[in-house]
Amino acid sequence: MTLPRLQSWVTPREAVRQLLHGATLRICTPVALVVGTLLSVVNQADVVLSGSADGRVTAKIAANLLIPFLTSSTGALLAVRAPRQAAAVKKRSS
């Protein structure tokens, strides 16, 4: 399996764009789904299976999916962050 290549970024706007539309989304979403599902099963399965789930439990399950996505995305984006100095040199040479 070949993973998509992450693009380097300098500004927060570029990072958010890549997070929402780029390879980061394709790489980190499956990780978040697996980890979030496992966390939800471990922490909330008894409540869901007993039929006692309410809005609070739904919010916890959503957080169980969101937090691994943000964590893996942050790690992926920080790994390809371009130094600001290099970006300034790149702009001057254009």
Cα 57 versus chain centre, distance: 22
pLDDT 10s digits, 13-55: 998 988 888 788 888 999 999 999 999 999 999 999 999 999 9
- Taking the whole predicted model, whether its pTM rises above 0.85 is answered as no
The residue that leads in pLDDT, 85 or 70, is: 70
- The full set of domain ranges for the chain reads 17-93
Other C-beta atoms lying within 10 Å of the C-beta of residue 9: 21
Q: What is the arithmetic mean of pLDDT over 81-90? A: 68
